[in-house]
Amino acid sequence: MRTMRVIRLVVHVGTRQPVLVLGEADGERCLPVFLRRPQADVIAVGPRGAEDPLLPQDVLVPVLRGLGHRLDGAELTELTDGVFSAVLVLDGDTRVAVLPSDALAVAVRERLPIAVAEDILDAVGQPVEEVFPNGTGAPAQQQVEEFRSFLDGVTPDDFGAPGR
């Protein structure tokens, strides 16, 4: 598993579908993940602050704590026919299958680690410099334009072809 960071949330020009771009925390690859709209809206709100009103995903952590569990992170575990599988990691070693969009929304809101299986990155990860030629430190608007340009040539189906 590779630890990831959130680079940017954008909208695919052709499909109008939200896309979360994850980048390796200590590497050169990034991974676009197409999301469902409600979860993208949660991710767009960002990490939960102490004074923020609770969103539906925010009740998960207090419920788990009340049951004596700890939520440790989210993992994208597989890519099958262009569809990601994901889990939430509880208590260090318990994995509960959830929709990838939900796993990512909870992880962003709770500032939890996000990890991606190495074989997913090997199959469909993209070099950050190809997606963001001016780097992820460039002004946000410039990054968004560069990523939109990249997305103009891809569809969700492109993420099912190994060896890219």
pLDDT, one tens digit for every residue, the chain (164 residues): 999 999 988 887 778 889 999 999 998 999 999 998 889 888 888 888 888 888 888 889 889 999 999 999 999 999 999 899 999 999 999 999 999 999 999 999 999 999 999 999 999 999 988 887 776 665 555 555 655 665 566 666 655 544 43
Measured distance between the N- and C-terminal CA atoms of the chain, rounded to whole angstroms: 19
Q: Which CATH superfamily is domain 2-160 in?
A: Bifunctional nuclease domain (3.10.690.10)
Q: Locate tokens 């109008």: which residue?
A: 16
Residue 56 CB contacts under 8 Å (≥ 6 apart), including other chains: none
Residue 64 CB contacts under 8 Å (≥ 6 apart), including other chains: 70, 71, 90
pTM for the whole structure: 0.79
Q: Where are the alpha helices (DSSP H) in the chain?
A: 37-45, 60-66, 100-110, 118-124, 128-131, 140-151
